[in-house]
Amino acid sequence: MSRIKTFNLPDLGEGLTEGEILAWLVKVGDDIELNQPIVEVETAKAAVEIPAKWAGRVQAIYHPEGATVEVGSPIIAIDTDPNAGPIEQSTTGAPAADLPTPSAASLAAVEVAPEEGMVEPGLIGGVAPGGRTAVLVGYGPRNAPAKRRPRKGGVPAQAATAPAAPVQPAPAPAPVVPVPALNGNGRPAGGPVLAKPPVRKLAKDLGVDLATLTGSGPLGSITREDVQQAAAAPAAAEPLTVAATATAAASFGADREQRIPVKGVRKLTAENMSRSAFTAPHVTEFLTVDMTRAMKALDRLRERREWRDVRVSPLLLVAKAVLLAVKRHPMVNSTWAGDEIVVKDYVNLGIAAATERGLIVPNIKDAGRLSLRGLADAMTDLVQTAKAGKTSPADMSGGTLTITNVGVFGVDTGTPILPPGESAILAFGAVRELPWVHKGKVKPRLVTTLGLSFDHRIIDGELGSKFLRDIGDFLADPEAALLAWT
């Protein structure tokens, strides 16, 4: 049995096919223990630490940090018996165990210094960028030395080894051909202007002199855009103004752009949102609510001795309102399954969280069975874990209904997009002090706006409106709602 064990990137669940290596927690030569974290990998859903399957010594690492690796590909080799002496070598010098070949990405990351006599990269028979051998189209690489075709009328290559011939007198220098002077536009003075007939007609219609323009097309030809820019630009006193404008326009290039690879959480979010937006027919309704009584109830709750160390926020009451409203309208907590609608008797309540890695939506499993204190503790743990980047894929799977708290960014509300497989999502806006009619008088009150998006295949306007109204009724007077509904 081989001492060398290769560890493959495991399937972290939910059908993930690849992961990005964020950081190696060990290096070649390190002694590791069973279940010791060896690498941090970012999947499309979370950043997770993967433990070692064997104890031993790190023999090889096959992918550098930042590489994207497919599930099932080898990432590390471990010597499970490092004290047994040197590793047996095969006739080729490799360990007796069949170690996997490093990936193309890892090989590409290795820089090899050119040896003396190597062909310059990019030339025929040499190494082209990316490690390929530069060859002519239709031919494979040749190892034979490159030969030059003898010039017409020249001396054959074999003559280089013959005795030196008598020195012939140098030929007379060729007459110097005068170079025509160039005008300010890079063309010979008095030379023809390169422009297609439609462009010439456009210039005539717009009153633009083609001779004063600098062409941006092939071989310096003038294009329609050149003519249109010249017509739109104010008349210049000096020709240098046109050149200055062209120089300024040319400064908007790749050196002032940033290209961010789409991967990990961002890639998954883009795929999910696109699929949901163009699959489920979305409807969004809005409701403005006076939350003054709810905010006072939160203040009283914070003053209670058993709640002094608990994080209490308006989002807690919103979550409780959603869970109670689901009990009154179970169809909202369902999934469209093609030929049937799956109504779920449990609520895995998703809470959208903005992290450094992007937007993630972990969920509280079976949140409807929790007390208000249990719900508060679960929400606190969920947010802290998400911000630390330690949310597991399991915590982001199986959600049935979601709340997104856009109010923390000072936004009044929004039109959220449904997470795939869910039929409703609630946007909770900022709580602001606004003038409000209360008991027949205009008074400053604490007001928020709710936005509910739902799948119109499952939830019609009446059901969606009643569900949103119940959430608003709870937030307007939570104590009365609890007495009436429980």
Q: How far apart are CA 351 and CA 425, in angstroms?
A: 10
* CA atoms of 176 and 180, how far apart (whole Å): 12
N- to C-terminal Cα separation, the chain: 65
Catalytic residue among 63, 329, 438, 456: 456
Q: Give the single-character DSSP code of 233.
A: S
Report DSSP letters for 249-265, one per residue: HHT-SGGG-------HH
DSSP SS3 for 308: coil
CB atoms within 10 A of CB 154: 9
For 39, other C-beta atoms within 10 Å of its C-beta total 24
Active site residue 456: yes
3-state secondary structure of 236: coil
> Do 391 and 46 touch, CB atoms closer than 8 A?
yes
Burial of 411 (0-12, 13-18, 19+ CB in 10 A): middle
Residues with Cβ within 8 Å of residue 229, at least 6 apart in sequence: 245
Q: Which structure tokens are listed for 323?
A: 């869970």
The residues assigned a catalytic role are 456
